[in-house]
């Protein structure tokens, strides 16, 4: 009898798993497979904290499957070799796995697997998982299609029934993959159980202040959903999160006004960001070179030939002399998570103030983010570095960001104990009271002049005719089609005309 293989990738769950339910609906024997690929874990964007999270996810997946009488087969090695051995041992009819938009290594791996399957006469079914559309020709109507996918019924659950199992080794220890502890002492818990707990607590207790509290690292750790690593590893599906959010929105709509509090605003803000999640992954799906190259070619050579290694090492170590930058970096290294605004600030500071080409900082951050999602990561890295050619240039002033989002220095004092003796009003500018500072450097660059010089160089490129022509093409392929009111559009245009050299985030 023909065998169906379900290849788990970034979809480590049994609920709303179209690949899994489709394979079982065939009525033929099913082999549930996870392939641990050592070469993937040697890539420069992979890390120990990712692997620990993966282990927890796989452990829970095994337990959930075993409750239904199913077994998860884990194989360690190169995907084609493993699939080929299985095809030689069994009559493999089909392979089922969700479409995946991940890093370049997996993209090239999948191209090879696709060729192998075609040559072996094996069907490889790749259902859509998260609203990202393969072979998309143009962005018009993308949002409507995304909503259509999100509103579809969840995939039917699989039933209790024995599945096939072949000899399966245990996952290798991290050291066997060349992965060592990376200082992440507060890493997030993996597995579906934790993902569901976070979703429920966010929608019904933690998330009421989300709209305003997500920007500050003082409040964001509690007020943000913290679902990002679970979406990245697929312990919970985007459709599940979307539909749970819609149910919560409906509950609030029918509740008494006094009971709603700040919840309606929070739920609207969160719901919009679910679509943004897939919007950015779609960019990498459409343009895989985003991982390595400037999206807009006018920026080629802008920073690549002047990379300052000393600046880079200070930025990585959280020793730039700017407290908000350094506290964020140290927090990220220790926890594997940081809220969006602070992520943007870290990348902006590296790209503008330190004038570092984005590729090396991007790889370093990829290893630190437990929720590393290449499509979002590289799209955002290039946005914050100003190399997309279509997004507003936003240069964060780290002093102002600290004053705005950690005015009392609570977050800074936690992660920079060497500044603990500074009074509240000086925590953001420790160089003004050097006698109270313990083993902390002065500013690595002068903030305002570095910002002015960076803005001048980037805006000089944007004035050329060639820049505008390529930007128009990028807009057609990648830009959001969200409607902007005519009044708002006019106001933005007038603001832009008035700025000779925009200096964002002035204190």
- The answer to whether the beta carbons of residues 62 and 235 sit under 8 Å apart is no
Task: Give 137's DSSP letter.
Answer: -
To which H or E segment does residue 5 belong? Answer: strand 3-8
Task: Give the pLDDT confidence of 381-392 residue by residue, as tens digits.
Answer: 999 999 999 999
Q: What pLDDT score does 434 carry?
A: 94
With a CB cutoff of 8 Å and minimum separation 6, the contacts of 382 are 290, 294, 295, 358, 388
What six digits make up the tokens of 445?
């660059």
Edge-to-edge strands of the sheet including 92-96?
72-76, 30-36, 3-8, 92-96, 123-125
The three-state secondary structure class of 76 is: strand
What was the pLDDT predicted at 483? Answer: 55
**494 pLDDT above the threshold of 90:** no
Token duo for residue 446 = 């002068």
Query: Which residues, at least 6 apart from 139, have a Cβ–Cβ distance to it below 8 Å?
Result: 476, 477, 478, 479, 480, 481
Long-range CB contacts for residues 200-208, cutoff 8 Å, separation at least 24: 202/226, 202/227, 202/270, 203/244, 203/245, 203/248, 203/267, 204/248, 207/263, 207/266, 207/267, 207/270, 208/261, 208/262, 208/263, 208/266
Average pLDDT score, the chain:
93
Round to whole Å and give the CA distance between 79 and 73: 13
State the first-to-last Cα distance of the chain, in angstroms, to the nearest integer: 71
Residue 239: closest CA among 136, 127, 341, 97: 127
Model confidence at 502: pLDDT above 80: no
pTM (predicted TM-score): 0.94
The predicted-structure confidence for 246-298, as pLDDT tens digits, reads as follows 999 999 999 998 889 999 999 999 999 999 999 999 999 999 999 999 999 99
pLDDT of residue 506: 36
Could you read off the pLDDT of 81-91 as tens digits, one per residue? 999 999 999 99
| pLDDT tens-digit readout, 304-332 | 999 999 999 999 999 999 999 999 999 99
User: Alpha-carbon torsion 307, 313, 316, 318, what sign?
Assistant: negative
Give the bridge partners for 5, in sequence order: 31, 95
Which residue, among 459, 463, 468, 461, has the nearest Cα to 503 in the 3D structure? Answer: 459
- With tokens 């009525």, the residue in question is 27
Does residue 503 have a pLDDT over 70?
Answer: no
96: β partners: 6, 125
Reply yes or no on whether the pLDDT at 491 is more than 90: no
Q: What is the DSSP secondary structure assignment for residue 95, as one 8-state letter?
A: E
Reply yes or no on whether the pLDDT at 485 is more than 60. Answer: no
Region 476-495: mean pLDDT is 55
According to CATH, what is the number of the domain 192-286? 1.25.40.80
Res. 475: pLDDT tops 90: yes
Q: Give the angle subtended at the CA of 279 by the CAs of 278 and 282, to the nearest 5°.
A: 80
- pLDDT for res 492: 39
**pLDDT surpassing 90 at residue 505:** no
Asked if CATH classification 3.40.50.620 holds for the domain at 3-129, the reply, yes or no, is yes
**3: helix, strand or coil:** strand
Counting residues of the chain whose pLDDT is more than 90, the rounded percentage is 88
CA–CA separation, 139 vs 282, rounded Å?
A: 10
pLDDT confidence tier of residue 482, bands split at 50, 70 and 90 = low
Domain 298-498 has CATH 1.10.579.10: yes
CA-based R_g, the chain, Å: 24
Q: Find the helix packing angle between 398-405 and 340-348, rounded to 10°.
A: 160
Mean pLDDT of 27-39: 96
b/e map 40-51, b = 16+ CB within 10 Å: bbebebbbbbbb
Taking only the tens place, the pLDDT of each residue in 214-224 is 999 999 999 99
Q: Could you state, in order of their start, the residue ranges of all structural domains in the chain?
A: 3-129, 192-286, 298-498
Do the Cβ atoms of 387 and 298 come closer than 8 Å? no
The residues facing 73 across adjacent strands are 33
- With a CB cutoff of 8 Å and minimum separation 6, the contacts of 391 are 383
């Amino acid at each position: 009898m023909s065998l169906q293989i379900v290849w788990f990738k970034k979809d480590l769950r049994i609920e709303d798993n179209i690949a899994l339910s489709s394979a079982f609906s065939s009525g033929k024997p099913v082999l549930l497979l996870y392939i641990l690929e050592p070469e993937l874990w040697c890539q420069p964007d992979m890390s120990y904290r990712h692997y620990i999270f993966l282990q927890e996810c796989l452990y829970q997946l095994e337990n959930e499957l075993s409750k239904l009488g199913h077994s998860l087969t884990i194989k360690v090695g190169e995907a084609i070799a493993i699939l080929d051995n299985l095809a030689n041992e069994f009559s493999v009819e089909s392979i089922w796995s969700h479409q995946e938009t991940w890093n370049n290594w997996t993209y090239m791996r999948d191209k090879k697997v696709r060729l192998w399957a075609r040559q072996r006469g094996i069907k490889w079914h790749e259902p859509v998982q998260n609203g990202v559309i393969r072979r998309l020709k143009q962005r018009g109507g993308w949002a409507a299609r995304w909503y259509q996918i999100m509103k579809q019924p969840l995939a039917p659950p699989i039933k209790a029934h024995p599945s096939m199992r072949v000899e399966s080794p245990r996952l290798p220890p991290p050291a066997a993959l060349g992965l060592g502890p990376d200082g992440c002492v507060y890493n997030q818990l993996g597995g579906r159980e934790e993902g569901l707990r976070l979703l429920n607590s966010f929608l019904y207790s933690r998330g009421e202040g989300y709209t305003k509290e997500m920007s500050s690292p003082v409040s964001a750790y509690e007020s943000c959903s913290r679902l990002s690593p679970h979406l990245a590893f697929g312990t919970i599906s985007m459709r599940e999160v979307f539909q749970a959010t819609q149910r919560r929105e409906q509950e609030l709509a029918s509740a008494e006004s006094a009971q709603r509090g700040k919840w309606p605003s929070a739920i609207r803000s969160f719901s919009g960001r679910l679509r943004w999640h897939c919007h950015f992954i779609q960019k990498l799906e459409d343009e895989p070179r985003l991982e390595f190259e400037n999206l807009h070619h006018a920026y080629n050579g802008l920073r690549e030939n002047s990379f300052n290694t000393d600046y880079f090492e200070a930025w990585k170590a959280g020793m730039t002399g700017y407290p908000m930058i350094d506290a964020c970096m140290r927090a990220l290294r220790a926890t594997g998570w940081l809220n969006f605004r602070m992520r943007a600030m870290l990348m902006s500071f590296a790209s503008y103030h330190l004038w570092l080409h984005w590729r090396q900082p991007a790889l370093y951050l990829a290893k630190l983010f437990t929720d590393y999602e290449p499509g979002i990561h590289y799209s955002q890295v290039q946005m914050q570095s100003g190399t997309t050619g279509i997004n507003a240039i936003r240069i964060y002033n780290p002093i102002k960001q600290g004053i705005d989002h950690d005015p009392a220095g609570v977050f800074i004092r936690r992660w920079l104990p060497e500044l603990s003796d500074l009074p509240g009003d000086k925590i953001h500018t420790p160089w003004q009271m050097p006698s109270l500072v313990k083993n902390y450097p002065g500013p690595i660059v002068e903030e305002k002049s570095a910002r002015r010089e960076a803005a001048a160089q980037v805006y000089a490129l944007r004035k050329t005719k060639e820049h505008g022509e390529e930007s128009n093409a990028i807009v057609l392929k990648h830009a959001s089609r969200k409607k902007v009111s005519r009044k708002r559009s006019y106001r933005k245009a007038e603001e832009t005309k008035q700025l000779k050299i925009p200096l964002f985030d002035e204190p």
